[in-house]
């Protein structure tokens, strides 16, 4: 194992989940404090901590796996704590001041759905020979109404990454809102198509319990039923709000990961088709997800074995900082324009440069 305590850092995400559960139960301003700590850790503190390029290897794999499998129960506990808080607050809130702690709790829950829940689900989705991992991934994604991710991500995104028709690759010049609408619709549509084709090849009916898109919706429906049982309509609305926020944050990360990069249809996937980021805290909290180029080259490799790459383009900031910049269009363009120009000049091949010119993407961010 290499790195100064780097192995222990991969427990930080669940520590944050436990803190989130405790803060929601305590109520009042505790959630504001934990939310602020989470945002600062993923932003300014992440930038101050700098990069970490060490690789931990297999020595702690049981510890890493335990953290991954613990995430679904912790997310469930977080949700239940949040719903009980909603129930206790329902009908007693008068004015924005009294609503602020509950809004802070909703923000924290949605943020953790994306930061921890979706990140772990992404990792477990690629453990294709582990049934428990696959079900854990679907459970985690059900908290953001996105169980089709397990289908589209593997059978779609990992084949079409950086191509124009990839639902999860943000096109150069594409506004983050336009990307969000496109990616949500396209990912679902493609997942439905892939699943239907899989069932036809297996000579099974599309409309059946074998359809993972359909059964995945039942996972989310079950959470809505629990929300109603605990806190009624207020609980349903509160959960939906946190879930939608989590999905938005998730797609913001998607937006950042491949923004503006180009690959000719059918060409080999290379490290240059994904933005890498080596910020210490970003990689600790997101289980090396920002070491994204190597993940796309070797999708089945567990996160603890992902190295850095000298062939991938590199983001100047951590994932959360880049996501915040994406929300401020002038800052995003100012940041990405020189990076894309550098990619075009140094990393793109001639066929990719020709595509960029044909699409009118020269000097466009």
Could you tell me the pTM of the whole model? 0.94
Q: Is residue 255 part of a domain?
A: yes
**How does DSSP classify residue 202?**
T
> How confident is the model at residue 2, as a pLDDT?
45
| Cα–Cα dist 206/212, whole Å | 10
> How confident is the model at residue 362, as a pLDDT?
87
Domain residues for 295? 6-358
The candidate with the shortest Cα–Cα distance to 65, out of 120, 2, 1, is 120
| Cα–Cα dist 249/245, whole Å | 6
> How confident is the model at residue 35, as a pLDDT?
87
Q: How many domains is the chain built from?
A: 1
**pLDDT by residue for the chain (365 residues), tens digit each?**
444 456 778 999 999 999 999 999 987 678 888 988 888 888 899 999 999 998 888 888 999 999 999 999 999 999 999 999 999 887 565 444 456 778 889 999 999 999 999 999 999 999 989 999 999 999 999 999 999 999 999 999 999 999 999 999 999 999 999 999 999 999 999 999 999 999 999 999 999 999 999 999 999 999 999 999 999 999 999 999 999 999 999 999 999 999 999 999 999 999 999 999 999 999 999 999 999 999 999 999 999 999 999 999 999 999 999 999 999 999 999 999 999 999 999 999 999 999 999 999 987 77
| Cα–Cα dist 347/124, whole Å | 31
Q: Is residue 1 part of a domain?
A: no
Between CA 304 and CA 50, with CA 342 as vertex, the angle to 5 degrees is 40
> How confident is the model at residue 363, as a pLDDT?
79
Helix axis angle, 176-201 relative to 212-258, nearest 10°?
Answer: 140
The answer to whether 174 touches 332, Cβ cutoff 8 Å, is: no
Q: Is residue 364 part of a domain?
A: no
Q: Is residue 225 part of a domain?
A: yes
Helix (H, G, I), strand (E, B) or coil at 87: helix
Helix (H, G, I), strand (E, B) or coil at 358: helix
Q: Which long-range contacts (CB under 8 A, 24 or more apart) does 286-293 make?
A: 286/13, 286/115, 286/119, 286/319, 287/10, 287/13, 287/64, 287/68, 287/119, 287/120, 287/123, 289/119, 289/122, 289/123, 289/253, 289/319, 290/315, 290/318, 290/319, 292/257
Q: Is residue 363 part of a domain?
A: no
Q: Is residue 64 part of a domain?
A: yes
Q: Is residue 189 part of a domain?
A: yes
> How confident is the model at residue 165, as a pLDDT?
95
Q: Is residue 69 part of a domain?
A: yes
């Amino acid at each position: 194992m290499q790195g100064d305590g780097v192995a222990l850092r991969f427990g930080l995400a669940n520590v944050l989940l436990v803190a989130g559960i405790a803060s929601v139960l305590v109520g009042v301003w505790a959630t504001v404090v934990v939310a602020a700590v989470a945002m600062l850790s993923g932003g300014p503190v992440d930038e101050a901590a700098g990069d970490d390029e060490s690789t931990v290897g297999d020595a702690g794999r049981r510890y890493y796996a335990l953290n991954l499998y613990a995430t679904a129960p912790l997310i469930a506990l977080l949700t239940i704590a949040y719903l009980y808080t909603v129930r206790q607050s329902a009908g007693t809130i008068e004015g924005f001041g009294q609503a602020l702690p509950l809004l802070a709790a909703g923000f924290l829950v949605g943020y953790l759905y994306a930061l921890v829940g979706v990140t772990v689900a992404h990792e477990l989705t690629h453990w294709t020979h582990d049934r428990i991992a696959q079900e854990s991934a679907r459970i985690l994604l059900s908290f953001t109404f996105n169980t089709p991710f397990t289908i589209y991500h593997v059978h779609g995104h990992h084949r079409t990454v950086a191509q124009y028709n990839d639902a999860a690759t943000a096109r150069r010049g594409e506004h983050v809102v336009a990307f969000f609408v496109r990616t949500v619709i396209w990912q679902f549509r493609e997942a439905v198509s892939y699943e239907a084709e899989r069932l036809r090849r297996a000579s099974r009916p599309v409309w059946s319990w074998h359809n993972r898109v359909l059964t995945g919706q039942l996972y989310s429906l079950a959470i809505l039923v629990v929300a109603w049982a605990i806190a009624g309509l207020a609980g349903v609305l509160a959960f939906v709000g946190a879930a939608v926020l989590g999905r938005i944050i998730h797609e913001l990360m998607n937006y950042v990961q491949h923004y503006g990069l180009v690959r000719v249809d059918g060409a080999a996937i290379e490290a240059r088709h994904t933005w890498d980021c080596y910020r210490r805290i970003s990689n600790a909290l997101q289980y090396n997800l920002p070491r994204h180029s190597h993940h796309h080259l070797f999708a089945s490799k567990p996160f603890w074995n992902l190295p850095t790459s000298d062939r991938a383009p590199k983001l100047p900031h951590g994932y959360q900082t880049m996501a915040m910049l994406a929300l401020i269009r002038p800052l995003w363009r100012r940041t990405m324009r020189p990076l894309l120009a550098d990619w075009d000049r140094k990393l793109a091949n001639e066929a990719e440069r020709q595509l960029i010119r044909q699409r009118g993407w020269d000097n466009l961010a």
